[in-house]
Structure 1
Amino acid sequence: MKKLLTLILVVLLLFTTTFTLPASAADTVNGAEIFNVHCAGCHVNGGNIVRRGKTLKKKALKKYGMDSVEAIASIVTNGKNNMSAYKDRLTQQQIQDVAAYVLEQANKDWR
């Protein structure tokens, strides 16, 4: 009986840890919604209406060292030049979500 209970607990533990996302995992669906509300005005389809070369396209992100979730999250949080800071408007999780969305879209060439 003890072995059966142990086996059941191990199997449950494996299913729980294997098929659930970590609490800090980025939600790109939520990121898309946030992007559409806060970012799309300047960055339609990954472009940039303010500074033409500073797009969210993969090549530009790589060129400017913004090709990671951490780098994108940092600029969303703190802003830079014409880019506003969003640390007072978005939660850290929302910033992570939108950063993950931007990187995902860049990798898909914004299609």
Structure 2
Amino acid sequence: MSRVAGIVCAASLALYGASCFIVPATTPKGAPQTEAGAVLGQPSAISSAAESASWSPLAVGAALGLLMAVATGRPALAADLENGEAIFNGNCTACHANGNNSIVAEKKLKKEALVQYGKYDVQAIMSQVTNGNGAMPAFGDKLGPDDIEDVANYVYSKADKW
């Protein structure tokens, strides 16, 4: 997909670059000029070229770029579950592999256990990750707020699948 986007971007830049090669009108020596620099009695090459253009290469390039961004981009989510999964794998799997708990066996990350302990909520999971509780250490100093939100959303999304 990025290759297609690069090709479209290059094509739009080429169209825009081609529009920059409008030959400026030259004035013969000694010819009377108007304020804008055009020769009296002759149409201006710049104004006639601008008036005859029915489309703008810049507008076409912008439209193509927007179309590619919409067509190939993934939706912006409040939480980045891929980032949450990476953070979980790097920090949490030592104790919580597959949603289990190797320290306190009954306090798993599975939906039933989270509901039982009042943690089946993204905010509650974020609080647990940030502040820790019992045997679980606090990650508030180690992880940023966005990372904590991402890992909490990841755990919440996986709780009924583990």
Which residue of the other structure, out of 76, 89, 94, is the alignment partner of 1:21? 76
Which residue identity does 1:82 align to in structure 2? A
Q: What stretches of structure 2 of length at least 5 have no aligned partner?
A: 1-65
Aligned counterpart, 2:109: 56
Q: RCO greater where, 1 or 2, for CA within 8 Å and sep 6 or more?
A: 1
Aligned counterpart, 2:129: 76
Distance 2:117 2:75 in 1: 34
- For 1:53-101, what per-residue CA distance to the aligned partner results, in whole angstroms no more than 9, with x for missing partners? 0000000000000001100000000000100000100000000000000
Distance 1:27 1:95 in 2: 11
Distance 2:97 2:150 in 1: 18
Tell me, what secondary structure is at the counterpart of 2:159?
helix
Structure showing greater Rg: 2
Residue 21 (structure 1) shift? 3.0
Aligned counterpart, 2:140: 87
Which residue identity does 2:87 align to in structure 1? I
Aligned residues: 91
Alpha-carbon RMSD = 1.6
Identity %: 47
Aligned counterpart, 1:37: 90
Distance 2:91 2:81 in 1: 15
Residue 20 (structure 1) shift? 5.2
